[in-house]
Amino acid sequence: MNIQDYNDLTPEIIVGEADHKQLNILAMAGLTHTPDQSDDLLYELERARVLNDAEVPSDIVRMGSSVHYRTDNGQEHMMTLVYPVDADIATGRISIMTPVGTALIGLRVGQSISWRSRDNRKHMLTVLAVRQPVAAE
């Protein structure tokens, strides 16, 4: 159930060097207890264009970004992409180690991606807006 097996839409994604390094470590560490999600994240990181952190455009979803996106059923969500330890869906903090979190990383405003939920249903989301944390600006 890897993201690459089901992704009809695979837009170019951009990831900064620091996020790329940290997310690779996280995904490798997760291979034993969350293998499917770790594989999906590793796939996304492998296909990403990696840029110097200062060169990553401000409209790219990175760790700590607040993202406004629309799903294929028309619902709009505002989430902040975080590491698993900081995740709290009730406060809008979504883990990178979720199917949606992995789908969001590296996308820019206007891009869409298809992904599979944990119950294996196919979905699509479109990024409407990205706001970077103050420290990243």
Q: What tens digit of pLDDT does each residue of 44-74 get?
A: 999 999 999 999 999 999 999 999 999 999 9
CB-based burial label for 123 (10 Å; 0-12, 13-18, 19+): middle
Q: What pTM did the predictor assign? A: 0.88
Contacts of 35 (CB under 8 A, 6+ apart): none
- Report the pLDDT value the prediction gives residue 79, as an integer from 0 to 100: 97
Residue from 85, 79, 66, 104 nearest 26 by CA: 85
Contact at 8 Å (CB) between 98 and 88? no
Say if residue 6's pLDDT is above 70. no
pLDDT above 90 as % of the chain: 80
